[in-house]
Amino acid sequence: MSENSTDTPRAVIVGAGPSGFYAADQLLNLGFEVDVLDALPTPFGLVRAGVAPDHPKIKAVTRVYEKTARKDGFRFFGGVVLGRDVTRAELLERYHAVVYALGTSDDNRLGIPGEDRPGVHGATQFVSWYNGHPDASDHAYDLTCERAVVIGNGNVAIDVARMLVLHPDELAPTDTADHAIEAFRDSNIKEVVLLGRRGPAQAAFTNPELRELIDLQRAGVVVDATDLELDEHSAAWLENEADITSKKNVEILSAYAASGPRESSHKIVLRFLRSPVEILGEGEDGPVTGVRVVRNEIVKNDDGSLRAVATGDEEVIEAGLVLRSIGYRGKPVDDVPFDERRGLIRNTGGRVSAETGDAHAGEYVVGWIKRGPSGVIGTNKKDSADTTVKIGEDRDAGRLNTPTINDHDAIAAFYAERAPDSVTWAGWEAIDAHERTSGEPHGRPRVKLVRLADLVERSRATNAS
């Protein structure tokens, strides 16, 4: 199959995470040939580098993506970076549809004094580090202190809090990167304080994530009952408007408060209505020693939403590690239209658009870089479908991009030339087999290769064997 029929539409998906894979599957079903690019030699995005390693069941979703990859018309080019190895214009020369599935890789900042002190980190980086993302594998975290503060009340915050107190026996059977297993084993951290700027009713945790804290082997959960006393706005909201998740969260937290912390060497302390106002430390820019926080109260906005407002009542929480987990934002890539304010690719319902709202022919977006970092993995299936339906409509209406280079094999050669270390699906399968085999004797799902050079070398073993 060298010269491809120009009748067969071709799509490239930039990003091999969940939204990229759902879009790939849907486009294959619509009769497209689909090339998936990823900056890393490995596929699966946040399923590999984001989902907490002690949640192996969530990671099992990759079996669905593997099925997609086995379909005719699918190709993978790992280690090809848009904006470094190839440009947006070069993709448009080669495909009828370009789909950006880049995710949101930057973490939001607090914008408070002391945020850049040593010992203050974005959760994004920390999560990448314990998951063996090659860009984060050389990072180092000082875990010699006894207390860490995690700012934010979402599932990422709860993931990192849990990882910090897992017993080595709980970590051992996971695919946590070896460097992180070693660091967690030597860690001195006994207490993790999770800070929510609003109240328990507004926490963004989902119920299973909050509930499973009870099962931690060596960490008790501390919730102060006075923190759970609902103000009038939250009480009315919970009664009349809240979804079942928020109601259940309050119930779970009340049960934690009522039972009190069990006897344990470690603890996770959930505190609400507290915002950090300054990260304290040694000298002007020395390591973190604590967080100055202000107590908030909940007020109602004109539109009915509830927000936290500082009371002026402050306290200091001593800590030697602070992790900021207050949401992600996307990064602009090449000259793809970007909405700086929202941190997303500018789009109208999945069609990449100019500031005027006019669609750019043949360019689309799916996942977090389209709608923002919300929802669970499965949310992306419907999100991708909302976009791929439009790609189908645009094909039927003759509104796709018109590529000038239509040779299937030449496109593969183009990637190989631009990114000589790029990895095909067979290369990823060689990496995967090696990692799984390395994990097997230790009862682990895999031992991750965490350096680019090792990943590329292992992918090449497919040719030798």
Which residues form the interface with ligand NAP (CB under 6 A)? 110, 151-157, 159, 196-198, 202, 204, 206, 209, 275, 325-328, 373-376
Residue 80 or 158: which CB sits closer to ligand NAP? 158
Min separation Cβ 366 and ligand NAP, Å: 16
| Pair 158, 210: CB distance under 8 Å | yes
Tokens of 210: 């909050």
Q: How far is CA 181 from CA 54, 188, 404, in A?
A: 12, 13, 50
Count other C-beta atoms under 10 Å from residue 74's C-beta.
19
Q: How far is CA 333 from CA 17, 104, 307, 405, 424, in A?
A: 17, 11, 33, 23, 23
The Cα–Cα gap between 434 and 254 comes to 46
Q: How far is CA 75 from CA 375, 402, 460, in A?
A: 28, 21, 17
Residue 253 or 359: which CB sits closer to ligand NAP? 253
Residue 94 or 198: which CB sits closer to ligand NAP? 198
Min separation Cβ 385 and ligand NAP, Å: 18
DSSP helix/strand/coil, 215 = helix
DSSP helix/strand/coil, 251 = helix
Residue 157 or 319: which CB sits closer to ligand NAP? 157
Site of tokens 């199959």:
1
Min separation Cβ 103 and ligand NAP, Å: 11
Residue 59 or 458: which CB sits closer to ligand NAP? 59
| Pair 163, 123: CB distance under 8 Å | no
H or E segment to which residue 183 belongs: helix 178-185
Half-sphere exposure of 446 (CA within 13 A, CB side): 19
Min separation Cβ 285 and ligand NAP, Å: 22
| Pair 450, 179: CB distance under 8 Å | yes
Min separation Cβ 377 and ligand NAP, Å: 7
DSSP helix/strand/coil, 233 = helix
Residue 202 or 353: which CB sits closer to ligand NAP? 202
Residue 132 or 154: which CB sits closer to ligand NAP? 154
In sequence order, what are the residues at sequence separation of 6 or more whose Cβ sits closer than 8 angstroms to the Cβ of residue 410?
2
Residue 50 or 79: which CB sits closer to ligand NAP? 50
Q: Which residue is nearest to ligand NAP (CB)?
A: 154
Min separation Cβ 293 and ligand NAP, Å: 10
Min separation Cβ 259 and ligand NAP, Å: 23
Q: Which amino acid is at 56?
A: P
349 Rama class: left (phi>0) / alpha (psi -120 to 50) / beta: left
Residue 249 or 459: which CB sits closer to ligand NAP? 249
Tokens of 178: 């070896």
Min separation Cβ 102 and ligand NAP, Å: 16
Min separation Cβ 46 and ligand NAP, Å: 8
The Cα–Cα gap between 126 and 160 comes to 8
Is the four-CA dihedral 132, 135, 422, 100 of positive or negative sign? positive
Q: How far is CA 170 from CA 175, 184, 294, 398, 442, in A?
A: 11, 11, 35, 55, 13
Residue 52 or 97: which CB sits closer to ligand NAP? 52
Min separation Cβ 299 and ligand NAP, Å: 13
